[in-house]
Amino acid sequence: MYNPKAFAVEELTQLHHMIGECRLAVLVTQGELGLQASHLPLLLDPQQGPNGTLYGHLARANPQWRDLEAGAEALVIFAGADAYVSPAFYPGKAEHGKVVPTWNYLAVHAYGTAEVFSDAHRLRNLVSALTDRHEAGRAQPWKVDDAPPDYIDSMLKAIVGFALPIQCLEGKRKLSQNRTPADAAGVRNGLAASPTPQDQALARLMPVPSTEE
């Protein structure tokens, strides 16, 4: 991705944190059927491999898993918080008017080639781990064992799992770092005052400009 140095995230722990904050990723491959993309919840094992390994599964009816099986390089996109930045947020608008709209956002791109697997025990461990992650915090978390064993067995036969060691990892935090401290403060305050929860979430991620410290 286009990633100017002011926005680039290079620290591995921070990249892993950004991945963990994204609940739904996009898996992109190029194969015999052309470009394909699937929206998937994924698990990251940060200790496996130099950059970590991603785990997920696809429906067996989804032909994209055959791209992975054939050794196609995969791009996995983790999109974080984002917000529209109005020129009205910049003090510079009143001073010189040389401002335009933009977008602030967080994103991580992971690249690699995957191993595909259909082993029932391995698949069960994967879907159990995914379930436990997303049921965490509920008063009565649902467990895979809550469903009839024969039903779970039939569901496992309908999916294909994959492990994707991350060969390249890119992160971007575009949070007005290229603006003056006054303009950056204007963006943060403007988004914080927005009635939109997504804007407020992005504002909380922005660093406090030195003029406000």
Q: Give per-residue pLDDT as tens, 67-86.
A: 999 999 999 999 999 999 99
Query: pLDDT class for 98, splitting at 50, 70, 90?
Result: confident
In this prediction, residue 133 carries a pLDDT of 95
- Given this model, what pLDDT does residue 96 score? 75
Written as one string, the DSSP assignment of 80-113 is EEEEEE-GGG-THHHHT-----EEEEEEEEEEE-
Residue 213 has pLDDT above 60, yes or no: no
Strand partners, 159: 59
The pLDDT score that the predictor gives to residue 92 is: 72
Is the pLDDT at 93 greater than 90, yes or no?
no
The domain locations on the chain are: 8-206
**Tens digits of residue pLDDT in 138-167:** 999 999 999 999 999 999 999 999 999 999
- Write down the mean pLDDT value for the chain: 94
Residue 95 pLDDT: 73
HEC-encoded secondary structure of 176-202 = CCCCCHHHHHHHHHHHHCCCCHHHHHH
Residue 207 pLDDT grade (very low, low, confident, very high; cuts 50, 70, 90): confident
pLDDT over threshold 60, residue 209: no
The CATH topology of domain 8-206 is Pnp Oxidase; Chain A (2.30.110)
DSSP letter string over 112-124?
Answer: E--EEE--HHHHH
Question: What average pLDDT score do residues 166-186 get?
Answer: 95
Say how far apart CA 24 and CA 118 lie, in whole Å. Answer: 22
For residue 133, give the H/E element and its range: helix 120-135
Q: Report the alpha-carbon distance of residue 4 to residue 23 in Å, rounded.
A: 26
Answer for the pair 67, 36: CB distance below 8 angstroms, yes or no: yes
Averaged pLDDT for residues 32-43: 97
- Residue environment code for 66-102, b if the CB has 16+ CB neighbours within 10 A, otherwise e: bbbeeebebbbbbebbebbbbeebbebeeeeeebeeb
pTM of the model: 0.93
- Cα–Cα distance measured from residue 151 to residue 130, given in angstroms and rounded to the nearest whole number: 18
Q: Is the model's pLDDT at 212 over the cut of 70?
A: no
Asked if 126 and 161 count as a contact pair (C-beta separation under 8 A), the reply is: yes
